[in-house]
Homo-oligomer: A and B are copies of this chain.
Amino acid sequence: MTATNGEPPAVRQGAGRARVVLGLVGDKWSLLVVCHLDHGPRRFTELKRAVDGISQRMLTVTLRGLERDGLLTRTVHNVMPPHVTYELTPMGRTLYEATTPLLRWTTEHLADIDEARAEYDARAEYDIRADTPAARSAGNAPDR
């Protein structure tokens, strides 16, 4: 049904997986929470402060989602004062490990990205001012 006529199967596989990844940790907070849990179990308010910027509501929602996916466990301790700890499951830990190449990539290329953005923005600014239609349509194709 999906008109993926000429695409090799590997492409669709990658795309499908990407969809799932985003469904898992593509939201605004899940990955952050997982990061903070990698260093051991944490309590609710610990996470609340650590993730910094997250609201109670979103922390709860995020934790529930991750728990539902089997990525972390929620443990209620019946003491006074009562507290709850969250801890990555083995699967959750493997997820974190799978993300580390991406995290490493980010730190390594952060400067490049900033530079690229600055260049792009500067170029866009120039194009607007000079209003050079030639610059957009003419042979700006790279020679390789």
Contact = CB atoms under 8 A, between A and B. Distances in A.
B19 A110 contact: no
Count copies of this chain in the complex. 2
Contacts of A142: 73, 75
Interface residues of A, number: 71
Interface of A: 2-5, 7-8, 10-11, 13-15, 17-22, 24, 26-28, 31-32, 35-36, 38-39, 49-52, 67-70, 73, 75-78, 91, 94-95, 97-107, 109-110, 112-113, 115-117, 119-121, 136-142
A90 to B, nearest CB: 10
21 contacts: A3-B49, A4-B50, A7-B36, A14-B36, A17-B107, A18-B35, A21-B31, A21-B99, A21-B103, A21-B106, A26-B31, A67-B120, A69-B116, A75-B140, A75-B141, A76-B137, A76-B141, A77-B141, A91-B109, A100-B101, A101-B102
